[in-house]
Amino acid sequence: MSSGHDHEPGFYEIRVRGHLESRWAAWFDGMTLTRGSDGTTDIRGPVVDQAALHGLLHTVRDTGLPLVSVSRVERPRAEPPPSDPRSARGEVR
């Protein structure tokens, strides 16, 4: 049964145990990697749909670091929605 929300774009935070080296940033295109003082790394950014989220989770698996959490979070105010074509042209503020 679908609630109709399964395919909406969102902003996600994926937390892994351990610190990802900066070389991993290319694997998480469009995402921000932030190392925490608690020994975790937060991977944050826009995810256009559930298929893209599953792809990110496969990439996390490939790092070999344990997954701590996956959360849909509020989008930062300066971040336009990933599906808005105007954002690519700089028309959305």
pLDDT of residue 7: 56
Q: Is 8 left (phi over 0), alpha (psi -120 to 50) or beta?
A: beta
Query: Residue 91 falls within a domain, yes or no?
Result: no
Number of separate domains in the chain: 1
Query: Residue 55 falls within a domain, yes or no?
Result: yes
Question: Which domain CATH number covers 49?
Answer: 3.30.70.100
CA distance 4 to 20: 34
Q: Are 31 and 91 in contact (CB under 8 A)?
A: no
How confident is the model over 34-91, as pLDDT tens digits?
999 999 999 999 999 999 999 999 999 998 999 999 999 988 776 555 555 544 444 4
For the entire predicted model, the pTM comes to: 0.72
Q: Are 69 and 15 in contact (CB under 8 A)?
A: yes
Query: Residue 61 falls within a domain, yes or no?
Result: yes
Query: Residue 49 falls within a domain, yes or no?
Result: yes
Query: Residue 87 falls within a domain, yes or no?
Result: no
Question: Under 8 Å CB-to-CB from 15, ≥6 apart: which residues?
Answer: 36, 40, 41, 42, 43, 67, 68, 69, 70, 71
61 is in which domain, residue-wise? 10-75
Query: Residue 88 falls within a domain, yes or no?
Result: no
